[in-house]
Chains A and B, each alone.
Chain A
Amino acid sequence: MSEHLIEIKDLAFSYTDRPILKRVNMTMSRGQVIAIMGGSGSGKTTLLRLIGGEVKPSAGHVEVAGQVVHQLSRNELFKLRRKMGMLFQFGALFTDLSVFDNVAFQMREHTNLPESMIRDLVLMKLHAVGLRGASHLMPAELSGGMARRVALARSIALDPLLIMYDEPFTGLDPISLSVIGSLIRRLTDALGMTSIIVTHDVQESLKIVDYVYFLADGAIAAHGTPEEVKGSTMPFVHQFVHGEEDGPVPFHYPAETYRKDLKLEVQFV
């Protein structure tokens, strides 16, 4: 077994006949924060779902902590998922439970800890994200950034080996954004886990990550450390990092030529 927590080998996935991912290879080790970037629809979220075992690959495999995810039985998969956390785009807090109960949810479901110990643990997790004082609030009373932080506390509730973040920076003000960013870094270092961030927020993620993968059209277009990425001369990476409108990723969705669509060309029959 390698020291890598996650090994992705020749991973491919398609919806019916539409390929989403084709031959993706990645390795991630403990203590790393890894960003997976790419335009919308490049298959980033699908990659997370494959790692979490929500969907099965059409070829290749994902190995988490030495186990091939899609070959696990349902019970084994659920056991593995206890070592994983996932932060959804808008937090996905349980709206019928208070902040405290949200964080305590997994502890109550998966452990037989006494309520007093759960209380202490929950308050510790909430303290780590700076929201110990908000434990009695309901999710509806939280701002977007606070909800994201509670969700973060919830996903580290059982001290997972791996946390996946699906677009953690979307829709946040600059302050909340850097709070979340530094929280991800600090928690990863403190708990010795691995974080995978799926995002298209280049500036914020380059500040905190150890390694970056660029996905385009279901394949890895480029990868490297943040420094390498910033200095990269590859047209795609350059376009992405600097947010240029047109480049290898075209502005236009594939279509007939403009003139033809507007019927400006004389058609010879």
Chain B
Amino acid sequence: MYKRIAAGIQAIGHRAIDGIWRLGCAARFFILVLLKSTTSFLRFGLVIREIYFVGVLSLIIILVSGLFVGMVLGLQGYETLQKYGSESAVGTLVALSLVRELGPVMSALLFASRAGSAITAEIGLMKATEQLSAMGMMAVDPVARVVAPRFWAGVISMPLLAALFSVMGVFGGYLVTVVFIGVDEGAFWSSMQNAVDFRYDIVNGVIKSCFFGVAVAAIAVFEGFDAPPTAEGVSGATTRTVVTSALAILGLDFVLTAFMFRGVD
């Protein structure tokens, strides 16, 4: 009995130590990537190539999701607000929730599952098929040549995708409430413009998405580089990228929100 309890505690300790050790590895790898980023900026073509795969190919899912999220927000917001006779405030509701929260968070979640997992799988497979070792033997640093460009592509793409998501969402809200339901167009835009502050809401939203971009890209490249060089290893790493990114995004979102929007005055 006591033995079993001891073994249980031991298992917890083992997992905790493993987790912290991995976190340390990830932090060191992150710094390594930053240190070796000079190549990415001297040869920006490498980053552009990755932006294509990471950013441009994520466009469709981001745009379509943004549109639908905005439409749902408009519909639900209208349903509730019209009970209080303030359906003209639906523009405020749609825009504020998109710019502050849903834009950065939703697009980061979609980005993690669309692009983050692809980055992990690609780097993991390159490792499994010895392409990274081969590169090292050719005196080319794989962190500088393969990892850093993908990391920066993720960091650059994320805020742009979030902005596109928000704009599509606002358009979706406009479509539903103004075009379909018939809320006054002037009231829709003016209530929005009165409530949304550029520096306070939009810039903070962009800052959020920058943080998310760094987090998702860092997690994706680390998991890929750290993946055991086998089929299960790579698939496990891909799953971990999506799960860890999602948790990191939501956790970070809370912390950032607490810093940015706590107490207006």
Residues of A within 8 A of B (CB): 52, 54, 78-79, 81-82, 84-86, 88-90, 92-96, 105-106, 109-110
The tally of residues in B whose CB lies under 8 Å from a CB in A reads 16
Q: Which residue of A lies closest to B137 (CB)?
A: A86
B138-A92 in contact (CB<8A): no
| Across-interface contacts of B133 in A (CB, < 8 A) | 54, 88, 92
Q: Given A81-B139, A90-B129, A90-B130, list of 13 further CB < 8 A pairs? A: A54-B136, A78-B141, A79-B139, A81-B138, A85-B137, A86-B134, A86-B138, A92-B131, A93-B131, A94-B126, A94-B131, A95-B126, A106-B140
| Across-interface contacts of A81 in B (CB, < 8 A) | 136-139
| Across-interface contacts of B139 in A (CB, < 8 A) | 78-79, 81-82, 106, 109-110
B138-A89 in contact (CB<8A): no
Q: Beta-carbon contacts of B210-238 to A below 8 Å, as 1s and 0s? A: 00000000000000000000000000000
CA distance A186 to B183 in the complex (A): 81
| Across-interface contacts of B129 in A (CB, < 8 A) | 90, 92, 95
Q: Which residue of A lies closest to B140 (CB)?
A: A109
| Across-interface contacts of B138 in A (CB, < 8 A) | 81-82, 85-86, 105-106, 109
| Across-interface contacts of A105 in B (CB, < 8 A) | 138, 140
CA distance A89 to B122 in the complex (A): 20
CA distance A143 to B193 in the complex (A): 62
| Across-interface contacts of A89 in B (CB, < 8 A) | 130
CA distance A94 to B46 in the complex (A): 15
A14 to chain B, nearest CB (A): 21
Residues of B within 8 A of A (CB): 122, 125-126, 129-131, 133-141, 145
Interface contact tally, CB-CB below 8 A = 51
| Across-interface contacts of B125 in A (CB, < 8 A) | 95
| Across-interface contacts of A110 in B (CB, < 8 A) | 139-140
B130 to chain A, nearest CB (A): 4
B56 to chain A, nearest CB (A): 16
CA distance A105 to B131 in the complex (A): 12
A196 to chain B, nearest CB (A): 13
A92-B136 in contact (CB<8A): no
A84-B137 in contact (CB<8A): yes
Residue in A54, A86, A95, A106 whose beta carbon sits within 8 Å of that of B131 in the complex:
A95
A228 to chain B, nearest CB (A): 32
Sample (21) of A-B pairs whose CB atoms are under 8 Å apart: A54-B133, A78-B141, A81-B136, A82-B138, A82-B139, A86-B134, A86-B138, A88-B133, A90-B130, A92-B129, A92-B130, A93-B131, A95-B125, A95-B129, A96-B122, A105-B140, A106-B138, A106-B139, A106-B140, A109-B139, A110-B139
CA distance A95 to B122 in the complex (A): 10
CA distance A218 to B258 in the complex (A): 60
A92-B140 in contact (CB<8A): no
CA distance A85 to B130 in the complex (A): 14
A216 to chain B, nearest CB (A): 25
Q: Which residue of B lies closest to A105 (CB)?
A: B138
CA distance A96 to B131 in the complex (A): 11
| Across-interface contacts of B145 in A (CB, < 8 A) | 109
CA distance A93 to B139 in the complex (A): 15
CA distance A110 to B141 in the complex (A): 12
Counting from the closest, the 7 A-B pairs by CB-CB distance are A92-B134, A81-B139, A92-B130, A86-B137, A78-B139, A88-B130, A82-B139
| Across-interface contacts of A85 in B (CB, < 8 A) | 137-138
B70 to chain A, nearest CB (A): 36
CA distance A17 to B240 in the complex (A): 32
B124 to chain A, nearest CB (A): 13
Q: Which residue of B lies closest to A75 (CB)?
A: B139
| Across-interface contacts of B140 in A (CB, < 8 A) | 105-106, 109-110
CA distance A26 to B133 in the complex (A): 25
A155 to chain B, nearest CB (A): 8
Most buried by A among B131, B138, B140, B141: B138
| Across-interface contacts of A88 in B (CB, < 8 A) | 130, 133-134
| Across-interface contacts of B136 in A (CB, < 8 A) | 54, 81
CA distance A44 to B155 in the complex (A): 42
A191 to chain B, nearest CB (A): 17
| Across-interface contacts of B134 in A (CB, < 8 A) | 86, 88, 92, 94
B126 to chain A, nearest CB (A): 8
